[in-house]
Amino acid sequence: MTHYSADFALLADKSDALALCRDDFYFPQHNGHSALYFCGNSLGLQPKGVSDYIEQELKDWREYGVEGHFNSKRPWFSYHKVLTESLARLVGALPLEVVATNTLTANLHFALVSFYKPTHQRYKIIMEGNAFPSDQYAIESQVRFHGFHPDTTIIELFPREGEYTLRTEDILSAISFHGKELALLMFSGVQYLTGQRFNMQKIAAAAHDVGACCGLDLAHAIGNVELELHDWNIDFAVWCSYKYLNSGPGGIGGLFIHEKHAYSDELPRFAGWWGYQESSRFLMKKGFIPEPGAQGWQVSNAQVFQMAALRASLDIFDKADLRVLFAKRDALTGYAEYMLHSLLQEYPHIPLEIITPKNSKERGAQLSMLIHKHGKELIDSLLSYGIIVDWREPNIIRLAPAPLYNSFADITKFSEKFKEHCIRLFANK
């Protein structure tokens, strides 16, 4: 650790407008001290408000029983609406276009029923190679459900030889090449393995230009990067909330359906009673009439306890200026990148390289590092000292400095310990 880095971190933390947000979270403890936690891209920390919000719902359940659906402090019948404005702000949407419901993959299946309508002329799906496995499985199963074969239907795009991330021009070229046969472009907002942020606006426009729909998996994007789903004309998007949104393990999913589809009678869907029009839902009438917008894609009774946990985190986001949040994200990630590059310049024999794009507009709060040997040993060694980062087989370390609760001092401490462990591990290897 240099004096430059220590002084910079001290000054940056003193001027951090979001510094107090750190106090809104619990940190895992290690030997009586807070662990250094950089795993918010896998599971965010617990907001301190979660217990109170869940306890309130337990109390209302205890005191009201079934009447809590309408008479509790925050009636369960409409509880999802408590989250709507906050979620719409984070994804750049109209309130009509978003709903907290189900899980990411369940929402993806429901959306695909509506937006993947293959014909013998137009049936292909383009997605990034090495997409999160659940997306791969969902897409494969939908393709087979429609009577097509994944090998001839799914077009996976991979980086060029010797590169780790996709070039936008290659994505656009593939869309153009397959345009007449393309039914759906299904991409991540941020690639989970490399941390690459895709140009969602540009690739969505290209998909629409050839007559295809565009869907996004925002699991690693919501709460992490700037989103303007409405203005970008995205058809649908899905996300989970337990990563950057800090809602806890298995937290509630989210769904975006663009306003242009809000009142459509032409889109097929797999329906359930919680998507029925709200004003007459409990009349239990025959024949499905959807609630307009994303709420019409709900199927089952709201998951109130999961929503309560998410609400505690969204309260913290609501207090934050998103421009400040994303500026801090870039500063934290850039500082971590600088410290890692300094280490590699000083010790070039360390078999490590950063594979996340250098351009801050092409990434979020994540640096992925390819380690060519002894990676699991390094991770286990760090964990034994209370440093929590993410390991992805076979050889990728993911470091995610979350701007709501990580500090610049965290980066300095991590860099110091990371250097010590690398020197010891690779000294004679």
pLDDT tens for residues 32-79? 999 999 999 999 999 999 999 999 999 999 999 999 999 999 999 999
Domain 6-34+321-426: CATH class, spelled out: alpha beta
- Digit-coded pLDDT (tens) for 198-245: 999 999 999 999 999 999 999 999 999 999 999 999 999 999 999 999
The residue extents of the domains of the chain are 6-34+321-426, 51-318
Contact 308, 57 (CB under 8 A): yes
Tell me which DSSP letter residue 353 carries: E
Report the CATH fold assignment for 51-318. Aspartate Aminotransferase; domain 2 (3.40.640)
Q: Is the torsion defined by CA of 260, 265, 270, 272 positive or negative?
A: positive
pTM of the model: 0.96
What would the pLDDT profile of 118-164 be if each residue is shown by its tens digit?
Answer: 999 999 999 999 999 999 999 999 999 999 999 999 999 999 999 99
290-345 confidence digits (pLDDT tens): 999 999 999 999 999 999 999 999 999 999 999 999 999 999 999 999 999 999 99
Helix, strand and coil content of the chain, in percent to the nearest 5, comes to 45, 15, 40
Q: Is 413 exposed, middle or buried (0-12, 13-18, 19+ CB in 10 A)?
A: middle
**Structure-block tokens of residue 183:** 């039914």
Peptide bond preceding 357 in cis form (omega within 30 of 0): no
Kindly state the helix (H) or strand (E) to which residue 241 belongs, with its residue range: none
* Lookup result for tokens 């410290």: 339
Give the pairing type, strands 390-392 and 213-217: unpaired
